[in-house]
Amino acid sequence: MKRNANYDNLEQSYLFSTIAKKVNEFAQNNPDKKIIRLGIGDVTKPLCPAVINAMHKAVDEMSVQETFRGYGPEQGYDFLRTAVQNYYKNYNVDLELDEIFISDGAKSDLGNILDLFDNDNTVLVPNPVYPVYVDTNLMAGRNVKFIDANEENEFLPLPDNSVKADLIYICSPNNPTGAAYNRKQLAELVKYALNNNAIILYDAAYEAFIEDNDIPHSIFEIDGARNCAIEFCSLSKTAGFTGTRCGYTIVPNALGKLNKMWVRRQTTKFNGVPYIVQRGAEAVFTKEGMKEIRVNIDYYKKNAKIISDTLKECGIWHVGGKHSPYIWLKCPNNMKSWEFFDYLLKNAQVVGTPGAGFGRNGEGFFRLTSFGSYENTLEAMERFKQLF
């Protein structure tokens, strides 16, 4: 047996597991303290009534011989694929049903998609970045190059033609910085990919938070993107599915063999998302569902504003929070990211995510999420005001 030695190139544990371990240790040693968690981007509002009703109905169907369902199609049921297809029409994107693949979330598919690409490809990843893009490639032993995201480029880097890359990861609105690419910037990116015969792996998990018309919800709003991009989206943040698990991946037919290869991959290694969950997901795209999820998104946006206003009041540099549930701030008093994490936990019992956990350029920065409850967000910000 020869184990995969590429795992030796990874950090010892996944960022959010390391944080959870530290916070649990602190909680054990300080049982009297109320810890407020604004670290991992996990939602707190329950699933909306439209989703719950649809799932109840689906459970009932599963209890009756005539409507019981066993294995479903690996690519997802047509009722949900059609709902996704119609959703994209809101952004003037016409998709074929066979370009839409229902998944158990963006994270899994962002890793799984790599099955389609030779290990010899060069991967370009912005830094700082959602750690999954880097880790999944390191596990496969691929060469990962970084492109700097920093204050100068407003955390929205774009490759120029001097950079040679075959696969490019882009997350917009961005995790962790909350920055979002506009139409012109994405058009530039598509041009680069087409010129360099590269594929963009576009993570649109936070598209539902976009406020301005100039920020595309989908890379396929850009001319030419069908020839060079795969898009990943998720209902985790859009509709509170972090624990329920459902997302969708778009692999255009224009990408030649890649669409059929993905079908082959999924039919071999995936058995689809549960029927009950897909019925719940379908309900998200109804008129009622859309209205209900908007209420929750607005609730999180209100939290983001509280965080942003407080940081402004404390004179702490920050971005994000507008098209995104994340606020990206500079650690006060020149503290390093993990130093600030420990300081905040010890002195305010507020948990955030150290920017350094997202890469070298995240050092000295820190991420807060607006996914907490309104009351906890308010209390956390009161504690900030006391400290700074």
Residues of this chain that interact with ligand MLT (CB under 6 A) are 40-42, 107, 130, 175, 236
Strands, sheet with 143-148, edge to edge from the N-terminal-most edge strand: 100-103, 247-250, 229-234, 199-203, 167-171, 122-127, 143-148
Contacts of 337 (CB under 8 A, 6+ apart): 331, 354, 355, 356, 357, 362, 363, 364, 365, 366
At closest approach, how far in Å is the CB of 351 from ligand MLT? 11
At closest approach, how far in Å is the CB of 98 from ligand MLT? 27
Nearest CA among 203, 179, 186, 24 for reference residue 131: 203
DSSP string, 276-305: HHHHHHHHHTSHHHHHHHHHHHHHHHHHHH
CA distance 111 to 121: 15
At closest approach, how far in Å is the CB of 287 from ligand MLT? 27
Mode of pairing for the β-strands spanning 122-127 and 100-103: unpaired
At closest approach, how far in Å is the CB of 3 from ligand MLT? 26
At closest approach, how far in Å is the CB of 204 from ligand MLT? 12
With respect to ligand MLT, which residue has the nearer C-beta, 40 or 210?
A: 40
Residue where the block lists tokens 């810890």: 35
Tokens for 108, please give them. 């899994």
Q: Is the dihedral of CA 310, 176, 234, 132 positive or negative?
A: negative
- Position with the least CB separation from ligand MLT: 41
With respect to ligand MLT, which residue has the nearer C-beta, 171 or 193?
A: 171
Strands, sheet with 318-320, edge to edge from the N-terminal-most edge strand: 318-320, 326-330, 365-369, 353-354
Q: Tell me, what DSSP letter sits at residue 351?
A: E
With respect to ligand MLT, which residue has the nearer C-beta, 107 or 322?
A: 107
At closest approach, how far in Å is the CB of 354 from ligand MLT? 12
CA distance 269 to 50: 31
CA distance 90 to 27: 46
With respect to ligand MLT, which residue has the nearer C-beta, 252 or 355?
A: 355
With respect to ligand MLT, which residue has the nearer C-beta, 41 or 280?
A: 41
Kindly report the number of other CB atoms within 10 A of residue 184's CB atom. Answer: 10
At closest approach, how far in Å is the CB of 345 from ligand MLT? 17
At closest approach, how far in Å is the CB of 105 from ligand MLT? 8
With respect to ligand MLT, which residue has the nearer C-beta, 40 or 225?
A: 40
With respect to ligand MLT, which residue has the nearer C-beta, 15 or 215?
A: 15
